[in-house]
Chains A and B, each alone.
Chain A
Amino acid sequence: MKQPATSTGSQLAWVGMGLAAPAAFLLVVLYALPLLSLLLLSFTDYELGATALRWVGVENFQRAWNDPVFIRSLRNTLLYMAIVIPGGVLLSLWVALLVHQRTRSRSFYEVIYFLPVTSTLIAMATVWQFLLHPKLGFINAALRAVGLGETAFITDPAWVIPVLSFIGLWQMVGFNMIIYLAGLAQIPPDMYEAAEVDGVVGGWERFTHITWPLLAPTTVFVVVTTCISAFKVFDTVLALTQGKSQSEVILYAIYLEGFQYFKMGYAAALTLIFLGLIFVASSIQLIKLDKKAHYA
């Protein structure tokens, strides 16, 4: 790393290359090569331990399209998103607006709402499984106490995805709330004063005219992260149902095919579909940010 006091640009470039080399190496080993092998694998029928493999073209993708378990896992994920995205945006924004107005109790609420974000999800999902237990759980005990009878939240296919979505919401509201609080802190107070001069006076009008539009980039970010976390649901399914009661989700299907049945070719194809969905969700943000740059 020795260099003369008057190092030239090209010398610095060499130093830069040297400093970035470990990262570049790991980028190839941990991302480029695995993604390439994944792509190649997805066109074969390779199974772990098999001595031969066959090139099958797009057969794995066709099979995914006709695989009732995988299609159900996609449908479940869509239903999950249909609940969690509006719920995650509206509940978090509501909580953030209320917390934003508080002064002395603000950190008290922040801590409580953020607590589920940091706790180990698989442990808390086990607790939820207990709370939802038909005989021993608190939730059914409370329903019985008010005369509503028992609901098989975990074993009834009609309930299981809404219940998983609720737990997902419980875990993410605190995260989204903090993001919204940061967004709210950036709205200059004189915006509201100026709007008051223009006749925007009611609380709801202030919200629809100023707060909601100015928070649009924040909302886009929240929607993107919520989408991605919806694609990645795994721990709660594992703890609550192990995929029973038709509660399969994408990652659970991939995990089973790849690491339980060792059908590497097919699992690779499912993984690529999963990656495609993640990229689509992430690109929502790029389009929006680009638009914002145009107006600026």
Chain B
Amino acid sequence: MKPKLSDVLSHAVLLLGAAIMLMPFVWMFFTAIKAPSEIFEASVWPWPRTWYGWGHFQEVLKTAPMGQFMWNGLVVCTGILTVQLLVAIPAAYALAKLPFKGSEGLMMGILVALSVPIQVTALPLYMGLSLAGALNTYFAQMMPFFLSMFAIFLLRQHFKSFPDEIIHAARIDGMTEWEILWRLVVPSARPAMAAFAVFSVVAHWNDLYWPMVVITTTDLAPPPLGMLLFANAESGANYGALMAGASLITLPMVIAFLLARKQFIQGITMTGFR
């Protein structure tokens, strides 16, 4: 009987923690479908007593271009990921398999830059973009992230373990390095690239700081900045609409996470095993 008791206890602790983890999500959704009069009652029970419907959601969609925010997030994340891979893949291959003068210096630079966050380079990059007249564009939102140290680092590790004999044989067969890279080496690192893609998209979809710095108009705002602009516009206590807005902003990532749970957990925690 003893192990049973410890199982019950461990489930009790885990379920209590799970309830705290889920509490904001539960309240967010149920408040979004609750009548304003019920929200003001401040009950301790989250679910609505009477069916109110999707009124708050309609209100949000009327006042804030949620679709546009999502589209902007999609454009920015896709753009960033594409350039990151196009830059990192050749560099990682060169650093892993083609010893050249200065490769150690480059690797050092990458290692240092790995721990420099965007909030540090934001100030000079902002001034540069301002001089170039490129503020408030998709380009300004994407540019600082074109070089992913993490992608180079991760892919280099993977490419290093690619067998040298295959590369030699391919060279003798007359394949160029470019062909070897894209037709032999890159396909072997597909799982690592998928995990990196998840990491990159989640990070940039949720990023608020940099868009706040460079974006000033609603039509270019990604979802987090859109949420902020919407929350500021909804000053006062219109929590029904606010929670409907928060639900819409959170929904894409929650759905993506539930669909690709393994890749998400792997991609985001991959940072732990570098």
A and B are partners in one complex rather than unrelated chains: yes
Residues of A within 8 A of B (CB): 1-3, 5-7, 9, 12-20, 22-24, 26-27, 30-35, 37-38, 41, 48, 94-95, 98-99, 101-102, 105, 107, 109-124, 126-128, 130-131, 133, 135-138, 140-142, 145, 170, 173-175, 178-179, 182, 218, 221, 225, 228, 232, 234-235, 238-239, 251, 254-255, 258-259, 264, 267-268, 271, 274-275, 278-279, 282
Does B264 touch A at the CB level, under 8 Å?
A: yes
Q: How far is the CA of A105 from the CA of B14 in the complex (A)?
A: 10
Query: Which of chain A's residues has its CB closest to B7's CB?
Result: A101
Q: A16-B98, A20-B90 are in contact. List 10 more A-B contacts (CB 8 A).
A: A17-B100, A101-B10, A126-B242, A127-B28, A136-B237, A138-B44, A174-B21, A218-B272, A255-B209, A271-B119
Which of the 9-residue segments B47-55, B120-128, B189-197 touches chain A? Answer: B120-128
Inter-chain contact B90/A175, CB cutoff 8 Å: no
* A122-B224, A123-B250, A274-B120 known; A20+B95 contact, CB < 8 A: yes
Q: Which 10 pairs, one residue from A and one from B, show the smallest C-beta to C-beta distance? A: A16-B98, A23-B91, A19-B90, A26-B147, A34-B124, A16-B100, A16-B94, A19-B94, A13-B100, A123-B246
Beta-carbon contact of A170 and B106 below 8 Å: no
A105 to chain B, nearest CB (A): 7
Contact yes or no, B109 A31, CB < 8 A:
yes
The 28 sampled A-B contact pairs (Cβ below 8 Å) are A12-B99, A16-B97, A19-B91, A19-B98, A23-B88, A24-B91, A24-B109, A26-B87, A31-B112, A38-B120, A102-B14, A107-B261, A114-B264, A118-B202, A118-B206, A118-B268, A120-B250, A126-B242, A127-B243, A136-B39, A136-B42, A138-B42, A141-B42, A218-B272, A232-B117, A234-B119, A268-B124, A271-B123
A-B pair count, CB < 8 Å, reads 292
Which among B24, B120, B205 has the greatest number of chain A C-beta atoms within 10 A? B24
In chain B, positions 229-274 with a C-beta closer than 8 Å to chain A are 231, 237, 239, 242-243, 245-246, 249-250, 253-254, 256-258, 261, 264-265, 268-269, 271-273
Complex Cα spacing A210 to B125, Å: 48
Q: Which residues of B contact A9 (CB under 8 A)?
A: 99
Of the candidates A13, A31, A130, A179, the one whose C-beta lies within 8 Å of that of B99 is A13
- Select the stretch in B57-65, B74-82, B173-181 that faces chain A: B173-181
Q: A19-B98, A20-B94, A23-B87 are in contact. Are A2 and B176 (CB under 8 A)?
A: yes
What are the residues of chain B within 8 A of A102 when measuring CB–CB? 10, 14
Residues of B near any A CB (own CB < 8 A): 10-11, 13-14, 17-18, 20-25, 27-28, 31, 39-40, 42-44, 46, 86-88, 90-91, 93-95, 97-103, 106, 109-110, 112-113, 115-117, 119-128, 130, 143-144, 146-147, 152, 171-174, 176-178, 181, 202, 205-206, 208-209, 212-213, 223-224, 227-228, 231, 237, 239, 242-243, 245-246, 249-250, 253-254, 256-258, 261, 264-265, 268-269, 271-273
| Inter-chain contact B269/A178, CB cutoff 8 Å | yes
Do residues B100 and A48 form an inter-chain contact, with CB atoms below 8 A?
no
Residues in B neighbouring A105, C-beta threshold 8 A: 11, 14
**Would you call A35 and B223 a contact (CB within 8 A)?**
no
